[in-house]
Structure 1
C-alpha cells in the first residue's frame, strides 16, 4: 500500500478488528456450552469487579479526570447502583436451555448465544455503560468487543480490564471481553460494526446511524430531551425534591435528566417556590439571552459547560454571587423549536420552565417539545390524578411515561419500578430505533422455537368473514 493510500486506514482497521475477532470467537466457543450456574458465576464476577468500592471509585475518578463530565460521588453511585440492579435483574432470569414453555401452543423456547457483540459506548458514562452491556452479553454466553468514545477511552478500557480480571479469576477466558485499540477512529469502529454478529450502540446519533447501515443487526438508542409536567394535584415539595435530585445527579450527564418542567398556572408560583427550596435558582428574564449565547456556540452545546458544577455555570452565565451556591438553574421560556434552544436537550444543570394554562395546555407543550427533540424517549408527570398519566401514555409518542418519579433514577431501572436496569433506552421507530424498550438481556439472545402439534384451531369462514358479509355483503 502506497503512502497516502486512502484505503490504508480501512485495511489497517479491518486487520486490527480481525485479530480481536479471532480471540473473541475462540473465547466465545469455549464459553458457549456453559450451564446456567456457570454463566451466572461469570456475571457475578464481572459485576463485583465494577461494584467493588475501590474499583468504582477508581473508575469514577478516571472518568471525571479524562472527560471533565459529571462528578466523582455520583459516578461512584451510578456504577454501583446500575451494576447492582443489573445483576439483580440478570440473576432472576434464565438464559441457557429452555427459558419458556407454552403447552397450550405447543411451543418451547431455547436460548442460544448470538456470538460476538460489538458495543459502542459514550463519554458521558464510559464505565457504567460498558459494564452494563458486558454483563448482558455474557449472560447470553456471548463475547463482546467495546468501541469506546475517544474521550472516555481510559475509563472504558480500565472497566474492561477489571472485568477481564474477574473472568480470569474464576477460570474463564479473558477474551470474552475486549476493547478496540487506540486511537479509536470512525474507520476502526465501522470495521468492528461490520465484523461482529450484533451491534449495540449508545452515544452519538452518527454512530447509531452508522450501526444501522453496517449490514450487521443493530440496536441503537435515541436522543433524550425529557419534559415533566407538574399539575395542580401534585405534592409540590415532593415533586420539587425529586426533580432536583434527578436534575443534579452527575451534573445532568444522563439523557434521562429533566430538560423542561411544565407547570400548570394554578400552582405555578408555589411550584417555583418549592423548586427554589429544593436548591434551584430562578434566573432573571433579562439573563436568558446571555445564558443561551453561553450554553450554545452556534447550534452546538458548549462542551466547556456540559455537565459542569453549578458554580462554574453561574460564573459563566454572569449570574449574581448568590447563584453560585445553587444546585441548578431555572430559566423561563415560552417558545419551542429550533429558534428556542432552551427547548432542546442541555446536558447541564439548566432546567427550562414553561407555564401552562391547564393540563390540556401542558400536554400540548410537552407534545411540541418532543416533536422538536426527543420524540419516542420519555416524559414524566407529577400528579395525584392517574387518569392524566394514562392520557399521556395513550396519546403521546414516547416509550416511557413516568409518574411521580425522580426521572433519571427510574427511567433506566430502579428498585421501585418495573423497568429493567440499563443505560441504553430504545425510542422505537419515532427515533428510527429497532427497539421500543430498555435494552436488556433478551436482546443478547437467539431463540430457538420447538413446535409440536396441538389440537387444530381452525375457525369457520363465517366466524372470520361474517362481520364483513353483514356490513358490506359477499
Structure 2
C-alpha cells in the first residue's frame, strides 16, 4: 500500500477536508481573542497537573523512552514557556503599518498544518505545535509515531474537551487514524498546506521531497567545550543535570565533551562527583559494541535509565547507585567512530584537547561529521570566546555556561523562544536557522501604497567603489 492507493488517499483526504472546513469557520470573523483563547485552551489541556501526570506516565509506558518525572517537568516548562512567548503577540489582522514606505502587513493563516510527532516527545511536541498553529488561525493534523499513538489519542481528546468549552470546532485538531503507517503519513505530507517535522532525519527528508512547504529540523549532536577558565564544579553540575534529563531524549542533550588538557583531570573529578562514571578500556569496547549494532543504536539502551544501560551492556562502574550517566573516552571522529555521533542515551563521549584552539578544532570535526547547524556549548569565563565560536563554527546557537538541554530550546533564563524543534539553517539542510516559533505558522499579506520616488543617482551607489578601484 502507498500514498496513491485510494483507500489511503480517501481517508487522508477526508481528514484534510474536515480540517479545512474547521479552519474556515475558525478564521471567519476571527478576532485575536478567539485565536488566543484557542491556543490557551490547548495549553491547559496538558498543563492541568492531573492530565500532565497521566500523559507523562502513558508516554513512558508506551514508548519506553525517558522517565515520568522529567516528562512532567518538560511538558510543564515547554508549554508554559511557549504560552508566555505568544501572550500578547499579534497574529490576527493588521500586524504593522509603515506610512513612510507605504506598507501594511496583515497576518493570514496558512490553512491545515501537518505535524510529524517524534516518539521521544509524544506529548510536549504536539501540544507546542498545536498552540502555534491555533494561535495563528490554522487547523492541524498530528501524525504520531507508532508507539506514540495511544498517548496522542488521549491528548487530542483532552484538547477537544477544552475546545468545546469555547464552542470551537474540534476538527481544528485531528490525529492521523491508527495504526500509524508511512503511507498515511506520506499522503498527509502531500495534501497538507505546511509540514512541521521533528524527529528522524528520514522523516525530514521525506517531508522536504513531498512537494509541500516544509519546516524540518536537523540532527542533534550537541558538543560542549570546557576551557581552562571555566568554573569546573558549576559546569559539571549543569552538564550532569542536562545529560541525565529525561534519559537524554532531547536533541540538545550533550553527546560529546571536549575538555582542554590543563583542567582535564580536575574536570573529570568534578564530573564523577556529579554522577558521571568513567569507563575502563575493556568496558569502553563492551559499551561501544553493545550500544552500536549493525549501524543502529540499540533500542534497549536508547533513552533508558542508567541502571538498564549498565545491565544491558554489562559494564562495571564504581558506585552504580549514584551513577547518572556513563563517560566514554574518545579520540576518533567520523563514520568509523559511532561514539562521535548522537547517542540518545545516558552515554557521553569525552575528548581531550591540548589547548582551547585544539578543542575548537575537535568540536568542528565532530559537528561536520554530525550535527552541523544545531549548537555548540561553551563553559568559559572568557568574554570573547563565545562570539569567536559563533563566527567560526557551523552552528546556529552558541550556548554559554548553561545546561545545554534546558537552554537550547528556550529557557526562562535566556532569550531564545521556547521550542522543541531547533532549525539548523543551511548547515543542517533546513529552511530555518532559529527555534521553531509562532511566526513560522502564518502568512503575511502586504498592502502596498505609492510613495514619493526614492531613486538614487549612480554616484550615490557607486562612489565608494569608484574611489576604491577608479571610475
Same fold (TM over 0.5): yes
1:411 aligns with 2:405: no
1:434 aligns with 2:431: yes
Unaligned runs of 5+ in 2: none
Residue deviations 1:233-279 (CA, integer Å, cap 9, x gap): 11111111110110000000000000011111111111111111111
1:11 aligns with 2:6: yes
Residue deviations 1:326-358 (CA, integer Å, cap 9, x gap): 011111111111111111100000011111111
Q: CA deviation at 1:471?
A: 4.2
DSSP-derived class of the 1:386 partner: coil
Question: 2: CA distance between counterparts of 1:349 and 1:92?
Answer: 39
Q: CA deviation at 1:472?
A: 4.2
The 3 A distance-change label for structure 1 pair 7 and 76 is closer
Partner of 1:421: 418
Partner of 2:181: 185
The 3 A distance-change label for structure 1 pair 416 and 38 is same
Residue deviations 1:99-123 (CA, integer Å, cap 9, x gap): 2233433322110000100111100
Structure 1 range deviating more: 438-447 or 448-457: 448-457
How many residues of Structure 1 are paired with residues of Structure 2 in the alignment? 469
Partner of 1:31: 26
Match of 2:366 among 340, 365, 369: 369
**What aligned pairs does 1:61-72 form with structure 2 within 5 A after superposition?**
61-72=57-68
Structure 1 range deviating more: 38-47 or 136-145: 38-47
Residue deviations 1:181-201 (CA, integer Å, cap 9, x gap): 111211111111111111111
Residue deviations 1:424-462 (CA, integer Å, cap 9, x gap): 111111121111111100110010112223343322101
Residue deviations 1:27-55 (CA, integer Å, cap 9, x gap): 11111132011111111111011011111
Q: CA deviation at 1:284?
A: 1.2
DSSP-derived class of the 2:202 partner: helix
Question: 2: CA distance between counterparts of 1:108 and 1:276?
Answer: 58
RMSD: 1.4
Match of 2:203 among 201, 207, 214: 207
Unaligned runs of 5+ in 1: 1-5
TM-score in terms of structure 1 length: 0.96
TM-score in terms of structure 2 length: 0.97
The 3 A distance-change label for structure 1 pair 313 and 8 is closer
The 3 A distance-change label for structure 1 pair 168 and 58 is same
The 3 A distance-change label for structure 1 pair 403 and 102 is farther
Match of 2:16 among 9, 15, 21: 21
Question: 1: CA distance between counterparts of 2:230 and 2:373?
Answer: 25
* CA contact 1:46–1:135 (8 Å) conserved in 2: yes
The 3 A distance-change label for structure 1 pair 115 and 371 is same
Question: 1: CA distance between counterparts of 2:380 and 2:451?
Answer: 48
* CA contact 1:10–1:188 (8 Å) conserved in 2: no
Partner of 1:173: 169
Structure 1 range deviating more: 292-301 or 464-473: 464-473
